[in-house]
Structure 1
Amino acid sequence: MCLAIPAKLVELLANEQAIVNLGGIRKEISIALVPGVAVGDYVIVHVGHAIGRIDPEEAERTLALFGEMAEFDAQQAELAP
């Protein structure tokens, strides 16, 4: 199983590289597989590579669900003996 997460593209760099925002963390990724992306686009990131664009509303919903899962996990950890 693989995991790809949505990230907002915040800066284009040389050599098909870009900076994305992953929940407040800025990370350099390759955009070679997704030609034509622009600053402000949301992309799906898997192991340091953008593998596709994603609709902004879908990206926000997905990120909100990840946040809810993290909050649930934290609550469960507090309840554990």
Structure 2
Amino acid sequence: MCLGVPGRIVKITSAEHQLAVVDVEGVRRKVNVGLIVDEGVTAGDWVLIHVGFALSKIDEEEAQATLAFLAGMGDPYTEELEALFESRIE
């Protein structure tokens, strides 16, 4: 199962390459924001992430509701978080 996971942009690391560091449940990883760059993403914004790409900008209420829903799913969400932990940046 593939999931879109909410994360909060920590910083834009490369405007040229459209990359940002995003925090997902305490795990930071690089994410491509090129698909939503026209939405004016900045540090502090919440985004929905799938396979290393931010697919849409979401508000904090939606992000928290989605995180709660995913946590209630159990194994699929746990597996997705484990994959994120393995790909985190230091």
Q: 1:59 — aligned with what? A: 63
Distance 2:2 2:73 in 1: 18
Structure 1 residue runs of 4 or more that deviate by more than 6 Å after TM superposition: none
Aligned sequence identity (%): 40
* C-alpha deviation, 1:5, in angstroms: 1.0
5+ residue gaps, structure 1, are 71-81
Residue 33 (structure 1) aligns with: 35
Structure with higher Rg: it is 1
Partner residue in 2 for 1:6: 6
Aligned equivalent of 2:85 = none
Number of equivalent positions: 71
Q: Which has the higher helix share?
A: 2
Q: Could you tell me the TM-score, scaled by structure 1's length? A: 0.78
Cα-Cα RMSD = 1.7
Select the structure with the greater relative contact order (CA < 8 A; seq sep ≥ 6): 2
Q: Shift of residue 66 of structure 1?
A: 2.0
Unpaired stretches in structure 2, ≥5 consecutive residues: 75-90
- Residue equivalent to 1:22: 24
Alpha-carbon distance in 2 for matches of 1:68, 1:7? 17
After the TM superposition, which residues 34-49 of structure 1 pair with which residues of structure 2 at under 5 Å, given as runs? 34-35=36-37, 36-49=40-53
